[in-house]
Amino acid sequence: MKNLLQKSLRQLTIFASIVFALSIPSYFFLVDWIWLKELDENNYLIAQRIENEFNEQNISDEKLAESIKFWNEIQPVSKIKYSLQPLLKDSLYTIKRQNVYSKKEIIDRFRGLKTNIKINNKNHVLIVETNVEETEETVAYIAMATVFFFLILVIGFWVLNKRLSKKIWQPFQDTLQKLKSFQLNSQKSIDFLETDTIEFAELNATLDKLLQHSIATYRNQKEFTENASHELQTPLAILKNKVDILLQSDDLTEKQYHIAEEMNKALLRSSRTNKNLLLLAKIENSQFDSSELINFDTLAAQSIDGLLEHFKEKNLTVSSDIQPGIEVKGNSALTEILINNLIINAIRYTSPGGTIKVGLSKSGFEIRNSGDETLNPDLLFKRFSRIATDDNGSGLGLSIVQEICSFHSWKTTYNFENGEHIFKVLF
């Protein structure tokens, strides 16, 4: 990953490189056009000078013819010819041929002018050709100089960007670090660094407003969960007490007894569901400490020992492969709930006479139980979604497992292989 300034500077560098590449042929055509334009002006000046010099001599026509002949002999690239009819318009052209002034075989480019001049009031045609300087060499030197300054510019941008980014982005980095260390359960607002940059000041003001709202919402939700814990549990406990007294009465008919028994089961389930929902709310609100060092192997062994009666009741074969000395950082109460929920889930949904395997290693915790077919992974960890027709559970056991794993930054997975349901918690 790259920071924002590097990304923008990289795009600018690419754009500048493309512009630079396109500028080289532009230089070539521009310089060539300037050369030809200047040579055309120079050729017109030469033609005007030749015309004036011949007219200033005031010589006879015979002497003029001899002078023109001599001129044509000593000027191989310039010609003067007598013409009865003047040219309709001047002619400008470019030609490549052997340079007559060079002993070596060198093909040069010449810019020519064919125009009318008057000498002794007679029409003559003048041809002037001037050697064109090598445009390629000129452009090459310009390109080299441009490359040099382009590299200085780009390197300077990168160096300045590296130095200035630390200073310019310091308020943003400070805000980012404080947000990373912010914990909602501490209920403490953040004091952002003051800055004179408008964008960062607006960002800090918006974040401060958002955090204040989040803290207030968290505080209200926490109060609600605490109040709900007392307000709901108390009437449920009273109702269950009354039903227990009713069940002990000798005046109940068999039908009334069954109704009271169903009421008792419903109250137990409601009480358990209420406790689980409150637990989920507390986990989501980060109301648990996660800094304990937990002996996971000890908790796993204790959970297995505590559920031995349940294993015997369904005649389940239990085997364990728990490595000693497995320690994790987290909350011991939540970890114990996680282990119990996974084992109870395996007991509940394993047929009588089935097998359950419990494994623990440095990589994670694993529960395997025998089964007939795979379960729907999309419904497993959803709240109140039951994976079997058994209605004794609250439908929140695996949801609590997933929330506890999220709280500890662990990962939970499910697979079905070789007739076994496999739940894993990866540390």
The pLDDT assigned to 188 comes to 79
pTM (2 d.p.): 0.51
Q: Which residues make Cβ contacts (< 8 Å) with residue 84, sequence separation at least 6?
A: 123
Question: pLDDT digit string (tens) for 42-83?
Answer: 999 999 999 998 888 888 888 888 888 888 888 777 888 888
Percent of the chain surpassing pLDDT 90: 30
Where do the domains of the chain lie? 4-139, 198-284, 292-426
Which residues of 200-337 form beta strands (DSSP E)? Answer: 292-295, 317-322, 327-330
**Domain 292-426 annotated CATH 3.30.565.10:** yes
pLDDT of residue 6: 64
Angstrom CA distances, 144 to 25, 56, 151, 194, 277, stand at 13, 49, 11, 47, 74
Those residues of the chain that have pLDDT short of 50 are none
Q: What order of strands is seen across the sheet that includes strand 364-370? A: 317-322, 355-360, 364-370, 420-426, 411-417
What is the reported pLDDT for 392? Answer: 56
Domain 4-139: CATH architecture, name and number where available: 2-Layer Sandwich (3.30)
pLDDT for res 354: 94
Are the C-beta atoms of 335 and 328 separated by less than 8 Å? Answer: yes
pLDDT of residue 390: 53
Q: Name 360's bridge partners.
A: 322, 365
**Residue 275: closest CA among 178, 129, 394, 134:** 394
Q: For 323-357, what is each residue's pLDDT tens digit? A: 999 999 999 999 999 999 999 999 988 999 999 99
Quick one: pLDDT at residue 114?
94
